[in-house]
């Protein structure tokens, strides 16, 4: 993209400031190429050849990243309390197009959350046609009754206030009050509402996988950029 867009606009779109603020960076001779030569607002250069204060730029447009979201953090730009954007570089929320969560995890749910500024990729991931599996670990308030595996796999379970039954979901019992649930759709608060429908309550919820991606050893509250191999794994 940087090979087609003038530097002034490109840096503004990456969140380095308004056009006036980026002009200030240029005027202060803080923007150079990799060899240290000064760059100007009308220049057109590859993303990887641009430096600000000698540092490489933030990830190029079309990025995909994963965050290990802690519980107690909200997927929003404006709500009160701690936000997922507080865990990312500040410029990410200023970019155009914006770096957006791919779907959402509610405030009390932890785990794998994807972000991208690529609208087509976002749509592909969340599209019902993709049916990407999303895997959760649920800690429950009450013992499982024993019929939940069959109920969730039936394809007939209805959630309150909805008129379309859920797609079949796989439940693995990990303990009397602990289970792994694999979904192939993404309805509002689906895991919590599914367990409520069978008379239970989710005490804590953690998403451990989306498609073929897992958090691996990514610490809670940290993020990492995903590369081509990760993208293939996501849809594998």
Active centre residues (catalytic): 106
Tallying the residues shown for the chain, one arrives at 236
Residues 6+ apart with CB under 8 A from 156: 165
Q: How far apart are CA 168 and CA 153, in angstroms?
A: 4
CA 125 to chain centre: 10
Strand-pair category, 55-56 with 100-101:
unpaired
- DSSP line for 95-164: -SS--EESS---TTEEEEEEEES-HHHHHHHH-TTT---EEEEEEESS---S-HHHHHHSS----TT-SS
The DSSP output letter for 83 is B
């Amino acid at each position: 993209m940087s090979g087609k867009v003038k530097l002034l606009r490109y840096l503004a779109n990456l969140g380095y400031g308004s056009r006036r603020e980026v002009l200030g960076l240029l005027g202060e001779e803080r923007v150079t190429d990799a060899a240290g030569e000064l760059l100007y607002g009308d220049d057109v250069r590859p993303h990887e050849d641009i430096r600000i204060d000698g540092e490489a730029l933030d990830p190029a447009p079309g990025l995909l990243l994963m965050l290990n979201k802690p519980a107690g953090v909200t997927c929003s730009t404006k709500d009160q309390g701690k936000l997922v954007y507080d865990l990312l570089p500040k410029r990410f929320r200023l970019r155009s197009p914006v770096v957006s969560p791919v779907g959402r995890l509610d405030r009390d749910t932890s785990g794998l959350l994807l972000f991208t500024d690529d609208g087509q990729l976002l749509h592909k991931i969340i599209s019902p046609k993709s049916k990407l599996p999303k895997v959760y670990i649920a800690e429950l308030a009450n013992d499982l009754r024993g019929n939940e595996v069959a109920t969730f796999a039936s394809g007939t379970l209805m959630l309150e206030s909805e008129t379309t039954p859920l797609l079949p979901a796989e439940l693995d019992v990990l303990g009397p009050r602990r289970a792994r649930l694999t979904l192939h759709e993404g309805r509002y608060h689906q895991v919590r509402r599914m367990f409520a429908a069978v008379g239970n309550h989710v005490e804590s919820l953690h998403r451990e996988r989306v498609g073929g991606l897992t958090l691996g050893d990514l610490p809670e509250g940290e993020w990492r950029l995903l590369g081509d191999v990760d993208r293939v794994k996501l849809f594998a």
